[in-house]
Copies of this chain bind each other. A is one copy, B any other.
């Protein structure tokens, strides 16, 4: 079930084929997951989304690739996105996430959601010391 029909042969569109080729080359795999198959209904949306995902997730940066996947999981779970929880947990495992790290990830994101509720329920005033604008 989806809200738009999956294109049966998306690579007949050369712009889609170029993106799919780059996904395969970047990931060193022939597998293209559903996100890209469905985004292919609009070549512009496909191109800009892949360009940003590639730039942020597949390019060396200040954070480790596995850490970035775990952050992705944290946001996806908090947003209740099932597809995203599935795809990024698989990606994190492919990047070496151990069972112990997975359990620790779950512990942290579950605790964060819990204390978020407490802070919001109490409507805690922000401690002055946390205000970055006041720091030199």
Interface majority SS on A: helix, strand, loop or mixed? helix
The 8 Å CB contact of A99, one of B41, B86, B114, B135, is B41
CA distance A83 to B99 in the complex (A): 23
Query: Which residues on A are within 8 Å of B, measured CB to CB?
Result: 1-6, 31, 33-35, 38-39, 41-42, 44-45, 48-49, 52-53, 56-57, 61-63, 67-68, 70-87, 89-90, 98-127, 129-133, 135
CA A65 – CA B46 in complex, angstroms? 22
The chain B residue sitting closest to A92, CB to CB, is B3
Q: How many copies does the complex hold?
A: 6
Instruction: Determine the residue in chain B with the shortest Cβ distance to A129.
Output: B31
Q: Which residues of B contact A76 (CB under 8 A)?
A: 112, 116
Return 13 A-B CB contacts under 8 Å, by A number.
A2-B123, A34-B124, A45-B103, A56-B107, A63-B104, A67-B70, A71-B71, A80-B120, A83-B125, A84-B112, A85-B120, A89-B121, A106-B118
